[in-house]
Amino acid sequence: MTAARVKICGITRLDQAQHAVAAGADAIGLVFYPPSPRAVTIDNARAIARACGPFVTSVGLFVNAEPAQIEQVLARVPLQLLQFHGDEPAEFCEQFGRPYLKAIRMRPELDVVDAISRYPSASGILLDAYTPGVPGGTGETFDWARVPAAPSVPVVLAGGLTPANVAEAIIRTGCYGVDVSGGVEAAAGDKDPAKVENFIVNAQQAHAKGE
């Protein structure tokens, strides 16, 4: 069994991207959602993605963006994976011809297995907390017992993860990977190096305990 992969999302600074990679992050997330305090410009994102190197996955996060906006980003930023964090149907996500993660927000009444089945072309499904009116990055958790035991695609767990709870989250869900934003920040968009390191170490050790 391989260790749970770690994505550090909402990176806005080159030095913080390099630090996350040096600390062992498998992926970094670049937010192309202008209302977010973690939103990046195309030029900044390009510099960050290029600095991360070819063996680290640079993920572009979009929320109900126009296709033209996404194409504009793709033309300049070397992204290996797209993350759709809004209400995008599978046909929308597929049109860019790139691997993608679809975020599913865990509304209380949601049939999770059915929701996942609507994205057969996704490389993975990201399960996030549901907060009305806010698409993500809320720092809220959801009931991890709702994560399917044998999902048809890799599941990335998100929502309110921190260095303190990531180990338990991995052990309880057996997820493929974890994604964190607010839980490793000093302030919105400003990653705290010690929190990033602790998050990654705790995620790696959690897997060892769970084997």
Ligand X SMILES: O=C(O)c1ccccc1N[C@@H]1O[C@H](COP(=O)(O)O)[C@@H](O)[C@H]1O
Which residues are known catalytic residues? 9, 128
Instruction: Please state the closest distance from residue 176 (CB atom) to ligand X, in A.
Output: 14
Residue for token pair 């907390």: 129
* Residue with Cβ nearer ligand X (34 or 211): 34
Nearer to ligand X (CB atom), residue 89 or residue 211: 89
Q: Which residues bind ligand X (CB under 6 A)?
A: 9-10, 29, 31, 33, 36, 38, 61, 63, 85, 126, 128, 135-139, 158-161, 179-183
Q: In the numeric block, which tokens belong to residue 176?
A: 């493929």
Q: Distance between alpha carbon 188 and the CA centroid of its chain, in Å?
A: 16
Alpha carbon distance 4, 69 (integer Å): 32
Q: How far is the CB of 53 from ligand X (least distance, A)?
A: 21
125: three-class secondary structure by DSSP? strand
Tell me how far, at minimum, the Cβ of 211 lies from ligand X, in Å: 25
Q: Measured from the CB atom, is 89 or 208 closer to ligand X?
A: 89
Query: Which of 12/211 has CB closer to ligand X?
Result: 12
- With beta carbons less than 8 A apart as the criterion, state whether 62 and 33 touch: yes
Using CB atoms within 10 Å of the CB of residue 51, give its burial: 0 to 12 exposed, 13 to 18 middle, 19+ buried: middle
Q: Say which residues have a Cβ less than 8 Å from residue 128's Cβ, sequence separation at least 6.
A: 85, 103, 104, 105, 106, 136, 142, 158, 159
Take residue 141 and report the two structure tokens written for it. Answer: 């958790």
- Least separation in angstroms between residue 203's CB and ligand X is 13
Dist CA 200 CA 162 (whole Å): 10
